[in-house]
Amino acid sequence: MERFTKSYNKYKQTLGLILPTVPLLTYEAFSHFTWGNQPNAWDFRSHMTIKSIKYFMQLGSEYTVEQVQKITTRESNILHPNQWIINQPVPLSGHTDQVKDAVNKACTALGEGLDKIDAAEVAAVDGEWTAYRTMTADTSDWSAEKKFAAMESELESDAVVLYLHGGAYYLCSPVTHRDLVSALARQFKGKCFSLKYRLAPQASFPSQITDALLAYMWLIDPPAGALHKPVPPEKIVIAGDSAGGGLTAGVLLTILQSGLPRPAGVITLSPWVDLSHSFESSITNAVTDYLPELGAKHRHKASKAWAADGSQYHFYAPNEAVIHPLVSPVTAKSWEGAPPMLVIIGEGERLRDEGLFFAQQAAQSGVDVNVQLYEAMPHVFQLLRGHPSARRSFMEMGKFVTRVTGGTSEESGARHWIDGRGEIGPLADEQYRIGFTRDEVIERIRNSVEKWGSQEMLEQKI
């Protein structure tokens, strides 16, 4: 009886979330085939997916942060026979002091007068090796060592992507991003290490940078007994989507500032590089994106993890630190010395302008930047599996990893526009240029943070 009650309550809760979407999706389906108020690049499946995600994201304010975290970080029981998934702890090993010193140095040096921010305590974290799998044998009872050897036997590339998942720094895990990461690994015929970094608000800035840097150094110099052999930095690409894209940029700044060996390249998908949402597209693209229309301040029920008392408006960092380059990389003074970058952005996403500005600033610092803008696509549109734009973006990521890790000499430093059919062409100057200076962006961020506590903002809902 107890088992029946638990199952009933579980399905009752699920139905309670799904049933309210029926009228909404019915309306959206009808509109798709009648007056067609969606972008031409959206097919029916994409339209329904985007509107469904937006609905579920708006439900967040009805739950505590712990409840939402539990939903988005739980282990999946869904088996994917074409994915290698091998759990892997990242121990402290001998890099603790090195990592802490590097993050401390970057926090202080890049702060430009901001009060000193102490690096978070370095902690052991977890992650998982991910690769595309062709083997059909049942490996469920194999040891991690045996699985890793079998995975390696199927790979053609010795490149490794260190992947940092998105989720606004407080949601998701490698589990939620397995499809994306394994699809990327398939494109360059290598393996990815997907990091389960600590989440805010339980662990806030710079904990996530500390975790990512620890994983990077662990890849380069693993302790005895590790599954992998040392990976040269010129064979490592750091990649991430959304908050993971911002974290990728922050880790890169830390590496450059501290003099640690730089990776072969970085990939950012829809990077969140302005924590304040101060650019115009955060408002003008609200209709064509699924991100909440008010992303600056978290709206969750008060809980042990988040008192919601108004003293701090963001989970990841205190108000005064939002302007810090490690938190909002659009404020970085220079990207000189950075490795090649691939910046992929959706034209219809709310983070479009900040992603373009980030790419421009890096290019102006002499960095080899390949920026790609995809017609009408929303935030992290790679989740729209099967859409021509998503397929094209995975192909481009695979080509980039192969190029920067030494496989080819394909075009670099390019600007591309990709239409709704996945066809690639040049990106026009008027689509690329944002028109702000760094000082103007810093002032806009300051103004945005000041408005967070205004009555106008407090009365808005996501």
pLDDT tens by residue, 129-146? 999 999 999 999 999 999
Give the residue with greater pLDDT, 316 vs 6.
316
Segment 234-258 shows an average pLDDT of 98
The rounded mean pLDDT for the chain is 87
Give the per-residue pLDDT at 8. Answer: 42
pLDDT digits (tens, 9 = 90+) for 198-234: 999 999 999 999 999 999 999 999 999 899 999 999 9
Give the per-residue pLDDT at 2. Answer: 52
Give the per-residue pLDDT at 11. Answer: 45
Give the per-residue pLDDT at 52. Answer: 76
Number of other CB atoms surrounding residue 115 within 10 Å: 9
pLDDT at 30 over 60: no
What is the residue extent of each domain of the chain? 1-37, 73-456
Give the per-residue pLDDT at 209. Answer: 97
The share of the chain scoring above pLDDT 70, in percent, equals 85
Segment 100-119 shows an average pLDDT of 82
Give the per-residue pLDDT at 296. Answer: 42
pLDDT at 55 over 70: yes
Retrieve residue 440's tokens.
């103007």
Catalytic residues: 242
Give the residue with greater pLDDT, 325 vs 306.
325
pLDDT band for 122, please (50, 70, 90 cuts).
very high
C-alpha to C-alpha distance for 153 and 148, rounded to whole angstroms:
9
pLDDT at 82 over 50: yes
pTM of structure: 0.91
Retrieve residue 41's tokens.
């690049």
Give the residue with greater pLDDT, 127 vs 297.
127
Give the residue with greater pLDDT, 410 vs 441.
441
CA angle 138, 162, 314 (to 5 degrees): 115
pLDDT band for 79, please (50, 70, 90 cuts).
confident
Give the per-residue pLDDT at 309. Answer: 62
End-to-end, the C-alpha distance of the chain in Å comes to 40
Give the per-residue pLDDT at 73. Answer: 93
Q: With contact defined as beta carbons under 8 Å apart, do 89 and 128 qualify?
A: no
Question: Which range (8-17, 180-189, 254-263) has the least confidence?
Answer: 8-17
Burial grade of 47 (CB within 10 A; 0-12, 13-18, 19 or more):
buried
C-alpha to C-alpha distance for 36 and 46, rounded to whole angstroms:
13
The per-residue b/e assignment along 150-183, b for 16 or more CB within 10 angstroms, e otherwise, is bbbeebebbbbbbbbbbbbbbbbbbbbbbebbbb
Give the per-residue pLDDT at 405. Answer: 97
User: Which residue do the tokens 């029946």 mark?
Assistant: 4
Give pairs for 414-419: CB < 8 Å, separation 24+. Answer: 414/370, 414/371, 415/370, 415/371, 415/372, 416/370, 416/371, 416/372, 416/373, 417/372, 417/373, 417/375, 418/372, 418/373, 418/374, 418/375, 418/389, 418/392, 418/393, 419/41, 419/375
Which fold is adopted by the domain 73-456?
Answer: Rossmann fold (3.40.50)
DSSP state letter for 140: T
pLDDT at 250 over 90: yes
Give the residue with greater pLDDT, 49 vs 244.
244
pLDDT at 462 over 50: no
Separation in Å, CA 240 to CA 98, 158, 195, 245 = 23, 20, 10, 4
Q: With contact defined as beta carbons under 8 Å apart, do 206 and 120 qualify?
A: yes
Helix 96-110 / helix 207-220 crossing angle, nearest 10 deg = 130
Task: Mark residue 366 as left, alpha or beta (left: phi above 0; alpha: psi -120 to 50; beta: remaining).
Answer: left
C-alpha to C-alpha distance for 193 and 174, rounded to whole angstroms:
9
Q: Which residues fall within 8 angstroms of residue 442, CB to CB, at 6 or more apart? A: 323, 331
**265 forms bridges with which residues in the sheet?**
237
The share of the chain scoring above pLDDT 90, in percent, equals 68
Give the per-residue pLDDT at 34. Answer: 63
Give the per-residue pLDDT at 232. Answer: 98
